[in-house]
Amino acid sequence: MSDVLNINKLTKVYTRRHGDTVAALSDVSVNVQAGKFKVVHGPSGSGKSTLLLAAGGLLHPESGTVAVDGQDIYALSSEKRAGFRARNIGYVFQQFHLIPYLSVLDNVLAPSLAFTNGQVLRRAEELVDFFGLSGRSDHPPSELSTGERQRVALARALLHKPKLLLADEPTGNLDETNAANVINYLRQFAADGGAVLVVTHDSKIDADEKYHIEEGFLVNNSGSPVSGNKNEK
Ligand code: ADP
Ligand code: MG
């Protein structure tokens, strides 16, 4: 099966203000196919958010490639990449990044506020309904529980029916019930044919495939390093 997400030999080095460097990702390779739910877990500071940002087209790697649906996303201009991301990638940020002065419905619509039409509005309303937020539709994020905010962030990520869904610590701020609900939503998205990559410090999340990241190096379940992709061209 072809990869929806193909991350190949990704390297990212940050330079801190006083000049020293941090190798946040070292030669990291991961694939996610349609219908798959994959998880990368690791401790704080191991490179999880860096990996997800790079996978989502939000952080240019030093070397290596990220292909989404066969498109090398960093080969695109930043403008083209932004459009490609909007159409193909749903991203759930760790801190949700909801817009404080917009209602729940408008937050869900935020990716297309500039060009909303009836169809997009109906899709947003369906998502608000699906995530059990109908009673909160007109409320600003400040009036929501953390679990509700997480669901708004998920609904927003799904507005444009992305092929790929990326989620950074999606259960990090939630109690057990809300966490289980969110994982079920992500699993359902994969069951419906999407591709999901989650990064988390929670080692309990079950997945089709699990990886561990430590100091920027990825290993699979068996503890062996994950080297270049088998289907590398
Ligand atoms: P995680 O999400 O697993 O907690 P991150 O990907 O956020 O880890 O960070 C990996 C490493 O890179 C850490 O050592 C972190 O301090 C460092 N780092 C992350 N972002 C930056 C940045 N913008 N500038 C410098 N160092 C950073
Ligand atoms: Mg992080």
Indicate which ligand has the atom closest to the C-alpha of 14.
1
Weakest mean pLDDT among 36-45, 49-58, 221-230: 221-230
Q: How confident is the model at residue 227 (pLDDT cuts 50, 70, 90)?
A: low
Q: What number does the ligand 1 atom closest to the CA of 47 have? A: 6
Q: How far is CA 33 from CA 28, 37, 56, 135, 172, in A?
A: 17, 9, 15, 36, 25
pLDDT at 70 over 90: yes
Query: Measured in angstroms, how far is the CA atom of residue 220 from the centroid of ligand 2?
Result: 19
Mean of pLDDT values over 74-88 = 94
pLDDT of residue 221: 64
Tell me if 24 CB under 6 Å of ligand 1. Answer: yes
* pLDDT band, very low/low/confident/very high, at 229 (cuts 50, 70, 90): very low
CA 53 to chain centre: 8
CA of 24 to the centre of ligand 1 (A): 6
Output the CA 74–ligand 2 centroid distance in Å. Answer: 22
Of 42 and 224, the structure prediction assigns the larger pLDDT to 42
Query: Can you give the pLDDT at residue 225?
Result: 62
Is 16 touching ligand 1 by the criterion CB < 6 Å? yes
Q: What is the pLDDT of residue 1?
A: 67
Residue among 50, 93, 202 to mutate when testing ligand 1 (max atoms within 8 A of CB): 50
Q: Which of 10, 14, 95 to mutate to test the pocket of ligand 1 (most atoms within 8 A of CB)?
A: 14
**Which pLDDT belongs to residue 166?**
98
What DSSP letter does each residue of 176-228 carry, written as one string? Answer: HHHHHHHHHHHHHHHHTT-EEEEEES-TT---SEEEEEETTEEEETTS-B--S
Pocket lining: 43 vs ligand 1, CB cutoff 6 Å: no
Question: Given CA atoms 130, 132, 134, 139 in this order, what sign does their dihedral have?
Answer: negative
Average pLDDT over residues 114-131: 89
115 pLDDT band (50/70/90 cuts)?
confident
Tell me the whole-structure pTM to 2 decimals.
Answer: 0.93
pLDDT at 222 exceeding the cut of 90 = no
Token couple for 190: 């994969």
pLDDT of residue 116: 77
Helix locations, 38-145, DSSP H:
48-55, 78-88, 104-109, 118-130
Q: Is 45 in the pocket of ligand 1 (CB under 6 A)?
A: yes
Q: How confident is the model at residue 17 (pLDDT cuts 50, 70, 90)?
A: confident
Ligand nearest to the CA of 45: 1
- Strand 37-41, strand 21-33: pairing: unpaired
Angstrom distance (rounded) from CA 110 to CA 127: 13
Say what the pLDDT of residue 145 is.
94
**Mean pLDDT, residues 204-228 taken together:** 82
